[in-house]
Amino acid sequence: MAAATSFARPSTRPDEIHNLLTGVERYNPQKISVLEDYLAHQCANPDPNTNHDLMANLALLKMYQFNPPMMDLDVIRRILAKALISTSQGDFNLCLYLLSDDICKDMSIAKLLVLRDYLEKAQFDGFWSEMYGNDDDDEESVVDGIAGFDNGLRKLILAEITSTYQTIQAKLIGKMVNLDEEAVLRLAKEHGWDVDAAGVVSLPLKSENEAKTTVIKESIKFDQLTKILCAANDI
Amino acid sequence: MYQENYEDEFVGNIDVVADTYANVNEIEDGEMEDEELLMQQAQAGVQAIPEQVRRFLGHLYRNLKNSTVNDLAYNYENQFVRLSDKYYAKAPWPEPQFVAALVGDDGLFLTLYRELYYRHIYSRLHPSLETRFRSFENYCDLFNYILNSDGPIELELPNQWLWDIVDEFIYQFQSYCSHRSRVAKRSPEEIELLKENSQVWNTYSVLNVLYSLIQKSNINQQLLVSREGGDVIEAAGEFGTRPLYKMLGYFSIIGLVRVHCMLGDYTLALQTLENIDLGNSRGLFTRVTACHVTIYYYVGFAYMMMGRYADAMQAFVHILTFVTRTKHYHQRSLQYDTVNKKAEQMYALLAISVSLSPSRVDDLIQTQVREKYGDQLHKLQRSGGGDEAISVLTELYRYACPKFIMPNPPNYDELEAAVEAMEPQDYQLKCFLREACLQLVVPTLRSFLKLYNTMGLEQLSTFLDIDAAELRNQLMVYKQRCRQVRCTSGTDLLNGEVTPTTDLDFALQDNLIIIAESRVGRRYADWFIRNANKMQDLINNLENRQKAAIAGAGKPNGEEAAATTTAAA
């Protein structure tokens, strides 16, 4: 799994960006281009573990919030598309809070919002058909220029499947990640999952999909004992 | 302070205050032949000030000059409030220039007095546009004086006063932003004025003040050093060692958190607090109750907006417990209304969080939430994500959320578009509801899953009246939504670990749902600790009595009796 939250500094963030984010320079509109270039970097990197820097992108959105004339809708589109495939679920909304209703009316951004709704409601087949269903229109895809979008997304969906199911039919997985059955079997082999003759995949047990009854034991903090220890010291 | 209860519904109703202020100024600018008239007016103005108020101003001035902070605190927290109620409940305090005559034209005193004067207008009357401009100018004067002197200035003020200055500065900024965005309610003259004065209450200048106060006081370095060890005095530097700079810097950090929240930047809000340890029960933020409550309100709210309901609940429960426990203590203080209003809002936010992410909350607070919002909680549980749930959430949210602002003035040349633009208030709500609606799956599914150990997918789908494929999706959503990032230390509010936040977990074996509930075991240790402490107290008490009895043995009877009673007390 990738980092649990998007707030820590990613290993790929250069010092220049880090200094910009932690100082008052983050309000300097002349630095917009620096952050835009950095975003382009993130978009070109297909590795889902290192290609997303939420904090930098939020800083860029804030610059736009303060300087509307400098706003670039295509940059916003890419920031949102990146947040869509981020491993921590709140990222998309955090970006959204910095925008405005007017921006959300833009065609591509409105479409990303629809896509996000499918994704968050786990209606994956709906998501894929919204993404790729309309073959006839020549419009550019809303995720253009994001390297490794499909794979990042599949990884995300697979993570959800493996934490919900213990056993699941291969064709159901196929539907959810938009792959044919053969590809799913290849995927299963890759991850070392068992597939029986009926096409049912057994997923390895981990804490998320174990469903074990537990008893929460109390934990005593040191603070609670201070009084007793003080008294013991007096004797 | 949070005098947000009045809205700007009045139009063109230029109030008396600014009128007289402007007129007086005209006279001042007038020719010298009016000097006599001017003198007369000034004298009349001074004489119009009630004797009691005049005495108060004299005390205030002297205490300020002598830096007797305790007396100042009394002047400020008690007398000022009392006199405001008595003489100026519906009128402004005396004109600053009449007061000038009483204090020998002392510039610093008058700047501080003007701050109080305008604050009073904001809280009791409707400030006109001109008042807003002048108040901003006065803040600029004050902060320039504090920040741009060669060495630290000689001034000491009570913490409460300093907090109120920073807090009011941000409140007036927010109020101005809402005022200018409501273009439909502004007269053409007002719009002309707003257009000409775009530098007034400019977002950059407000942020600049806060960041400068933080920087000048080295407060972040001070906090870092005091936590990790090192020479605090060295870290504080020339300015930061003075209480005035230190506290202003500290309160500015919290002010900044508020401004970030008002702009919808919740991550930056929490990041700003990286050097303040919320886990420290003796932190500087506890010195002023309003500050203590404010910090938790914004932290909790930011968490809630981020979908980290467990963290939000923890923040709210912590501060609400504090407020409940100390209620009798601050009942008479001037912060009481502020604190109370924030607390009420936090109960509403807590009700939202508890409904969206069901979990155990401290019993005392839970009862309070039920008492206040039982009806709403019930509706949220019952409706299972329908329209009713949305309207309840909206109602609670609108009551309890902070005010949001646009960082820039609207485009005054395209008024129609500006009128139609969605208010930031509504936009934030819309984003939040989008998220909250998804979260509503959790309480609904939970209430069914709780009843079984295993159950078929088909069976549950008939109960819920949805098809099996959709149920599969919803179960996956439940899984996702029951895992939240939770912060693990008092200082790093942003980062944390992903932890399950519900007591009810499940897994799918193809079409079979296997349900597992976690239970809380009995808390033996807690019981023993409490009783051991009680026992210790008892023993101490008895020993003290014995000592008193022995000490009193040689004395006459009357005194002995007295000694035992005091020991018993």
pLDDT in tens, A144-159: 888 888 888 898 899 9
* Residues B475/A123, Cβ–Cβ less than 8 Å: no
Site from A7, A25, A104 to mutate, B interface, most B CB atoms within 10 angstroms: A7
* Residues B368/B377, Cβ–Cβ less than 8 Å: no
| Encoded tokens for B413 | 């040349």
Helix ranges (H only) for B217-362 are 219-228, 232-240, 243-262, 266-272, 289-305, 309-325, 327-330, 336-356
Determine the distance in angstroms separating the CA of B484 from the nearest CA of chain A, rounded to an integer.
9
B238 φ/ψ angles, rounded to the nearest 5 degrees: -60, -45
Residue B270: which of B494, B531, B461 has the closest Cα? Answer: B494
- Distance, in Å, from the CA atom of A198 to the CA atom of A96, rounded to the nearest integer, reads 44
Chain B hits for A4, CB-CB cut-off 8 Å, are 485, 496-498
Taking the Cβ of residue A103 and every Cβ of chain B, the question of whether any pair is shorter than 8 Å is answered with no
In a 3-state reduction of DSSP, which class is residue B507? strand
The residue of chain B with its CA nearest to that of A114 is: B434
The residue of chain A with its CA nearest to that of B417 is: A102
* Residues B313/B276, Cβ–Cβ less than 8 Å: no
- Distance, in Å, from the CA atom of B194 to the CA atom of B118, rounded to the nearest integer, reads 19
The reported pLDDT for the residue numbered B284 is: 85
Residues 6+ apart with CB under 8 A from B59: B71, B75, B79
Taking the Cβ of residue A169 and every Cβ of chain B, the question of whether any pair is shorter than 8 Å is answered with yes
Chain B hits for A123, CB-CB cut-off 8 Å, are 470, 473
User: Residues of chain B whose pLDDT is less than 70?
Assistant: 1-35, 330-334, 383-385, 490, 554-569
Q: What is the dihedral of CA B249, B261, B402, B206, to 10 degrees?
A: 50
B477/A122 CB distance under 8 A: yes
A90/B509 CB distance under 8 A: no
Taking the Cβ of residue A220 and every Cβ of chain B, the question of whether any pair is shorter than 8 Å is answered with yes
- Distance, in Å, from the CA atom of A19 to the CA atom of B486, rounded to the nearest integer, reads 27
Tokens 């370095």 belong to residue: B221
Q: Considering CB atoms only, which of B494, B507, B517 is closest to A209?
A: B507
Mark which residues 50-89 of A lie under 8 Å from B by CB: 54-55, 58, 62, 65-66, 68, 88-89
The reported pLDDT for the residue numbered B19 is: 35
A228/B529 CB distance under 8 A: yes
Amino acid at B386: G
Determine the distance in angstroms separating the CA of B213 from the nearest CA of chain A, rounded to an integer.
13
- Distance, in Å, from the CA atom of A92 to the CA atom of A104, rounded to the nearest integer, reads 13
Chain B hits for A117, CB-CB cut-off 8 Å, are 434
Phi-psi region of B46 (alpha: psi -120 to 50; beta: other; left: phi over 0): alpha
A164/B507 CB distance under 8 A: yes
CB pairs under 8 A between A and B: 158
The reported pLDDT for the residue numbered B384 is: 62
B533/A228 CB distance under 8 A: yes
B438/A121 CB distance under 8 A: yes
A4/B498 CB distance under 8 A: yes
Tokens 């005495």 belong to residue: B55
The reported pLDDT for the residue numbered B331 is: 62
- Distance, in Å, from the CA atom of B511 to the CA atom of B238, rounded to the nearest integer, reads 70
A148 C-beta neighbours (distance < 10 Å), count: 17
Helix ranges (H only) for B75-187 are 80-87, 96-102, 107-124, 129-147, 159-181
* Residues B408/A68, Cβ–Cβ less than 8 Å: yes
B507 φ/ψ angles, rounded to the nearest 5 degrees: -140, 155
Chain A hits for B514, CB-CB cut-off 8 Å, are 166, 211
Site from A93, A173, A222 to mutate, B interface, most B CB atoms within 10 angstroms: A93
- Distance, in Å, from the CA atom of B391 to the CA atom of B49, rounded to the nearest integer, reads 51
CA B423, distance to chain mean position in Å, is 22
**What ipTM, to 2 d.p.?**
0.89
Taking the Cβ of residue A167 and every Cβ of chain B, the question of whether any pair is shorter than 8 Å is answered with yes
CA geometry: angle A150, A156, A161, nearest 5 deg: 120
Determine the distance in angstroms separating the CA of A136 from the nearest CA of chain B, rounded to an integer.
28
Residue B129: which of B192, B189, B190 has the closest Cα? Answer: B190
The reported pLDDT for the residue numbered B27 is: 42
Taking the Cβ of residue A100 and every Cβ of chain B, the question of whether any pair is shorter than 8 Å is answered with yes
Residues 6+ apart with CB under 8 A from B272: B253, B256, B257, B260
The reported pLDDT for the residue numbered B410 is: 86
Domain ranges within chain A, ordered by starting residue: 15-134
Determine the distance in angstroms separating the CA of B510 from the nearest CA of chain A, rounded to an integer.
5
Chain A hits for B438, CB-CB cut-off 8 Å, are 120-121
Please, what is the angle between helix A181-191 and helix A170-177, to 10°? 100
B421/A101 CB distance under 8 A: yes
Q: Considering CB atoms only, which of B406, B424, B485 is closest to A5?
A: B485
The residue of chain B with its CA nearest to that of A228 is: B533
Q: Considering CB atoms only, which of B427, B496, B526 is closest to A101?
A: B427
- Distance, in Å, from the CA atom of B224 to the CA atom of B230, rounded to the nearest integer, reads 9
B18 φ/ψ angles, rounded to the nearest 5 degrees: -65, -30
Chain B hits for A222, CB-CB cut-off 8 Å, are none
The reported pLDDT for the residue numbered B301 is: 97
The mean-pLDDT minimum among A127-136, A192-201, B42-51 falls in A127-136
Site from B473, B513, B535 to mutate, A interface, most A CB atoms within 10 angstroms: B473
The reported pLDDT for the residue numbered A46 is: 84
Q: How many residues are listed for chain A in this entry?
A: 235
* Residues B411/B194, Cβ–Cβ less than 8 Å: no
Amino acid at B192: E
Residue B97: which of B89, B84, B106 has the closest Cα? Answer: B106
Determine the distance in angstroms separating the CA of B267 from the nearest CA of chain A, rounded to an integer.
8
Taking the Cβ of residue A4 and every Cβ of chain B, the question of whether any pair is shorter than 8 Å is answered with yes
The reported pLDDT for the residue numbered A140 is: 64
The residue of chain A with its CA nearest to that of B508 is: A165
The reported pLDDT for the residue numbered B118 is: 94
- Distance, in Å, from the CA atom of A180 to the CA atom of A195, rounded to the nearest integer, reads 15
Residues 6+ apart with CB under 8 A from A214: B516, B518, B519
* Residues B386/B379, Cβ–Cβ less than 8 Å: no
The reported pLDDT for the residue numbered B492 is: 79
A101/B308 CB distance under 8 A: no
| Overall CATH class of domain A15-134 | mainly alpha
* Residue A202, beta-bridge partner list: A167, A194
Residues 6+ apart with CB under 8 A from B348: B372, B373, B396, B397, B399, B400
Site from A88, A164, A205, A233 to mutate, B interface, most B CB atoms within 10 angstroms: A164
Q: Considering CB atoms only, which of B207, B473, B495 is closest to A122?
A: B473
Chain B hits for A200, CB-CB cut-off 8 Å, are 510
